[in-house]
């Protein structure tokens, strides 16, 4: 019988080697990645378009272009598509993002070739039916109306739009913009950035014959793929915005700044510094503002890393009467990191937690692929995670203190408070 009074033996997290997928470079510039992993008879097909909000001319058209792919084709209605996929035990989801739009299918391996005609219709013959688009717009307006009652939603969008301004990452959908967006504008986005222009990632249980079948099915239908067009984000001035809501019992706080991206040399050290500060349940922000003060159920800080920029953000929902003191305590913890070195014991604990949390994201074949996508789609290099563990292991308290002073907290943070 297990003696539950004795803690399990501690095992230090070790770095890992990611498997290398088969990579096929097609003549149009597309890349097809194939990772055979797992023992369940299922595959995930991901069609990745360079067509996120980075490329849109009107806020929201990238979102609608992605969502409309499965709303009707030359031969199928949206209902037909759903029924045919369901018939073969398959399902899909669409993920419009800042940089990319992902169309993902989970399909039983034995039915993959049977579904190829449906994939062909969705990817190359989307019809953009006007009635489906108008319905989607109404749903989005209703959802936006509901979300705008939530302080954290309002604060998050305002923080990002103030941080990036007219830069594409600052785009936000508004009711007036949604109402005025036309199906032609959405289809133009699709025609310019999506039609026959995608990378493909296939993960799961499949053989070489099926892999080659997928390549043959798509390779002669693709158009020349494009790169990310260069844009320069002009730095925004420091801002401190407060939107009062008299009926609110809580305030939502967002504080942060633009930051270093994943491909910069000190990113691993920044991750470690953030983990100490506010990156996990035992962080200093949680210990101070949740455990000691009781102002909130949770407060966190993290990096949002994108293709062409990145930002650091702290966010929490607190009792309205405690919002000013919460901001003061955040600044207090910033000053601690700048003025005091992290103890050896705390640093070891956080290093092990951070490495363990990275390993914990690799429990399935699809999770492995997500790490590989970070490498291939954000230009990180195949040794990125090896180097990340080495940087975390080698980081010293003095280096993290210097990083707090010279980089992460070298300037005051901007803030948005709503509530």
Residue pLDDT, tens place only, 200-226: 999 999 999 999 999 999 989 999 999
Query: CATH assignment of 22-219, given 3.40.50.300, 3.40.1390.10, 3.20.10.10, 3.30.830.10?
Result: 3.30.830.10
Structural fold of domain 240-418 = Cytochrome Bc1 Complex; Chain A, domain 1 (3.30.830)
Sequence-distant (≥ 6) Cβ neighbours of residue 286 within 8 angstroms: 278, 280, 298, 299, 300
Answer yes or no: same fold for 22-219 and 240-418.
yes
Residues 6+ apart with CB under 8 A from 272: 350, 351, 354, 392, 395, 400
| Over residues 57-61, mean pLDDT | 92
- State how far the Cα of 56 lies from the Cα of 60, in Å rounded to an integer: 8
Question: How many angstroms separate the CA atoms of 224 and 157, rounded?
Answer: 34
d(CA 184, CA 178): 13
For residues 204 and 379, the answer to whether their CB atoms sit within 8 Å is: no
Whether the model clears a pTM of 0.85, i.e. scores above it, the answer is yes
Tokens of 198: 């995608």
Q: What is the DSSP string of 264-278?
A: STTHHHHHHHHIIII
Strand pairing report for 31-36 and 101-108: unpaired
pLDDT tens column, 108-136:
999 999 999 999 999 999 999 999 999 99
The span from the first CA to the last CA of the chain, in angstroms, equals 53
Beta pairing class for 414-418 and 240-243: parallel
**Domain boundaries, given as residue ranges, for the chain:** 22-219, 240-418
pLDDT on residue 297: 94
């Amino acid at each position: 019988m297990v003696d539950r009074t004795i803690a399990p033996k501690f095992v230090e997290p070790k770095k890992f080697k990611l498997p290398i997928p088969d990579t096929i470079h097609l003549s149009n510039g597309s890349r097809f990645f194939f990772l055979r992993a797992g023992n369940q008879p299922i595959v995930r097909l991901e069609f990745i378009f360079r067509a996120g909000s980075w490329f849109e001319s009107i806020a929201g058209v990238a979102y609608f272009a992605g969502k409309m792919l499965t709303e009707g084709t030359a031969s199928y209605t949206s209902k037909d598509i759903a029924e045919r996929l369901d018939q073969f035990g398959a399902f899909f989801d669409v993920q419009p993002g800042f940089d990319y739009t992902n169309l993902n299918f989970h399909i039983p391996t034995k039915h993959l070739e049977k579904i190829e005609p449906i994939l062909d219709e969705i990817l190359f013959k989307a019809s953009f039916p006007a009635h489906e688009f108008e319905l989607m717009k109404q749903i989005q307006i209703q959802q936006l109306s509901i979300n705008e009652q939530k302080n954290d939603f309002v604060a998050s969008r305002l923080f990002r739009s103030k941080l990036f301004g007219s830069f594409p990452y600052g785009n936000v959908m508004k009711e007036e913009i949604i109402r005025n967006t036309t199906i032609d504008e959405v289809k133009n986005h699709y025609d310019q950035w999506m039609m026959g222009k995608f990378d493909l990632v296939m993960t799961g249980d499949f053989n070489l014959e099926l892999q080659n079948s997928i390549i043959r099915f798509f390779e002669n239908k693709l158009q020349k793929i494009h790169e990310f067009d260069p844009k320069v984000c002009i730095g925004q001035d420091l801002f401190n915005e407060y939107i009062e809501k008299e009926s609110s019992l809580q305030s939502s706080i967002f504080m942060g700044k633009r930051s270093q991206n994943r491909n910069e040399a000190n990113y691993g050290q920044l991750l470690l510094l953030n983990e100490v500060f506010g990156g996990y349940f035992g962080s200093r922000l949680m210990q101070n503002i949740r455990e000691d003060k009781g102002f909130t159920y949770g407060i966190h800080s993290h990096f949002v890393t994108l293709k062409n920029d990145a930002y650091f953000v702290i966010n929490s929902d607190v009792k309205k009467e405690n919002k000013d003191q919460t901001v003061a305590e955040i600044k207090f913890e910033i000053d601690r990191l700048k003025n005091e070195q992290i103890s050896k014991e705390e640093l070891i604990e956080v290093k092990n937690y951070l490495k363990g949390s990275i390993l914990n994201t690799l429990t399935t074949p699809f999770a492995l692929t997500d790490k590989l996508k970070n490498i291939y789609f954000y230009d990180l290099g195949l040794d990125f995670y090896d180097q990340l563990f080495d940087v975390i292991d080698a980081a010293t308290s003095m280096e993290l203190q210097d990083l707090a002073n010279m980089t992460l907290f070298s300037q005051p943070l901007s803030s948005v408070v709503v509530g």
